[in-house]
Amino acid sequence: MRCYKGSIAHIQFLLGIAIGIVITFFFSSMMSLQGSVVRLPPEHPHALGERRLAENSFDVHSHLHEHGQEHSHEDLDNLEDPHKVEFEDTHFHHDDESAAKRLSESTRVLCWIMTSPKTLEKKARHVKNTWGKRCNILLFFSSETNTTFPTIGLNVSEGRNHLTGKTIQAFKYIYDKYYNQADWFMKADDDTYVIVENLRYFLSGQNTSQPVYFGHRFKVIVKQGYYSGGAGYVLSKEALRRFGLYGNDTKRCRQDGGAEDAEIGKCLYNLGVSTGNSLDALGRTRFHCFNPETHLFGGFPPWYYKYDNDGAKKGTENISDYAISFHYIPAEKMYSLEFYIYHLRPYGIISQLQNLNNKPEVISVTPAAG
């Protein structure tokens, strides 16, 4: 009998130790969690949300605008390039592209991309593989000629302090060699994504014989404002003509240095070229100097509220259904946007906004000051 009671006591003793160990482990784990970050599995929805916010934060908060602040392009250069994504499913797609093809013939767009030897394969290659192929003419300008890619080498040193010189020389080159081969002439960075069909749709309602250019307008520095270089800006044929003939006048146009987009804005203003209104009929923006997530959810850097001409608004209600451009697009997202825009389809839904019988919107042009 004493042996039996002793066994029970022994079991109770061991059970108490086990419970104590469990409780101690539980509380020590809770204490360690308070002092550390919980790492969720990559596939967890919250982890995906955190990753999106982190990516958005990288794109926005590391971006400091050109005017007196360090830029983030060098940081983006370090991103690992994805493998090229091939969309080999055209045999499944039987879209009616007749309207887009007609516009490509009647509204010819030359796109030229600002790039560098350092970013040619990391960024420019992916523009060439994605949206760039929809331009009527696609050119890449760099500080070095590359006959394989190919790029057009300009007699300008590499670096952010020489982007104005690159742009001046690139537009002069285009005027000399391509003036009669296109109706509109768009400059974009090698991390800009452009929906070329929407660009043509917008431009088809404009007059390329007017001295005008379009883009994402900043309201400071130049009297009539100027357009973000990263969002891309597009010159009419008359604007390019004036640039080609008089852009080398040092009294009107700075030939190098300064912030490229602001200096080009000053130059075009001095040449009598107007900033045009590119908002859609509902007052929503078409050109965007950040990535889609930033314009959807906000988180703009402080300088943007001072610069943006249209109130630094966010949300779907402020972005045109026919948006044209977004900036700070890493290589991988270039292919994601290709998939979302040109391949993903919701079955059984036909957009009533897409009425091909409607005439393109005609947007008034702000007269040039002076």
Give the residue extent of every domain in the chain: 97-342
Q: Judge: domain 97-342, CATH 3.90.550.
A: yes
Q: Cα torsion for 156, 158, 162, 164, to the nearest 10°?
A: 70
> What's the confidence (pLDDT) of residue 30?
44
Determine the Cα–Cα distance for residues 310 and 217; give it in Å rounded to an integer: 8
User: What is residue 342's three-state secondary structure?
Assistant: helix
Determine the Cα–Cα distance for residues 56 and 352; give it in Å rounded to an integer: 32
Determine the Cα–Cα distance for residues 208 and 184; give it in Å rounded to an integer: 7
Q: DSSP of 230-268, one letter per residue?
A: TT-EEEEHHHHHHHHHHTT-TTTS--S-S-HHHHHHHHH
> What's the confidence (pLDDT) of residue 350?
77
Per-residue pLDDT of the chain (370 residues; tens, 9 = 90+): 444 445 555 555 555 555 555 455 444 444 443 443 333 333 333 333 333 333 443 333 333 444 444 334 444 444 444 456 776 666 666 778 889 999 999 999 999 999 999 999 999 999 999 999 999 999 999 999 999 999 999 988 888 888 999 999 999 999 999 999 999 999 999 999 999 999 999 999 999 999 999 999 999 999 999 999 999 999 999 999 999 999 999 999 999 988 999 999 999 999 999 999 999 999 999 999 999 999 999 999 999 999 999 999 999 999 999 999 999 999 999 999 999 999 898 888 877 655 444 444 544 444 444 4
Determine the Cα–Cα distance for residues 195 and 15; give it in Å rounded to an integer: 68
